[in-house]
Amino acid sequence: MDRQRFLVCYDIANPKRLRRVEKSVKAFGSRIQYSVFECLLDGLRLQQLRKNLGEIINSDHDQILFVSLGPEAGSSSFRIDSLGIPYSQRARLTIL
């Protein structure tokens, strides 16, 4: 399977879990911001990362987003998936 580019972003409520999540994600990709990493993952590596993180987080308090940026060498549709607290699309609000 071809590798896909993902942004892996997290919001972790506990400092100990935060350090463990950071260490796990760092093994799979490169840091872009404090809690945002770019990861090139095939299906097996994505499954392994999700498994590793699922064993660390508290699903009631933590959230990890997997933002698919499409194939490594191309562009594709934009998709957001989450682990832990579900991702909910927020309506855009414009205040004038």
Read off the pLDDT of residues 15-60 as tens digits, 9 standing for 90 and up: 999 999 999 999 999 998 899 999 999 999 999 999 999 999 999 9
Instruction: Please tell me the distance from the alpha carbon of residue 96 to that of residue 82, in angstroms, as a whole number.
Output: 32
Instruction: Please tell me the distance from the alpha carbon of residue 19 to that of residue 27, in angstroms, as a whole number.
Output: 13
The one-character DSSP state at 38 is E
Instruction: Please tell me the distance from the alpha carbon of residue 19 to that of residue 16, in angstroms, as a whole number.
Output: 5
pLDDT of residue 92: 47
Q: Quick one: the chain helix, strand, coil %, rounded to 5?
A: 25, 35, 40
Domains, the chain, in order of start with CATH, read: 4-84 (3.30.70.240)
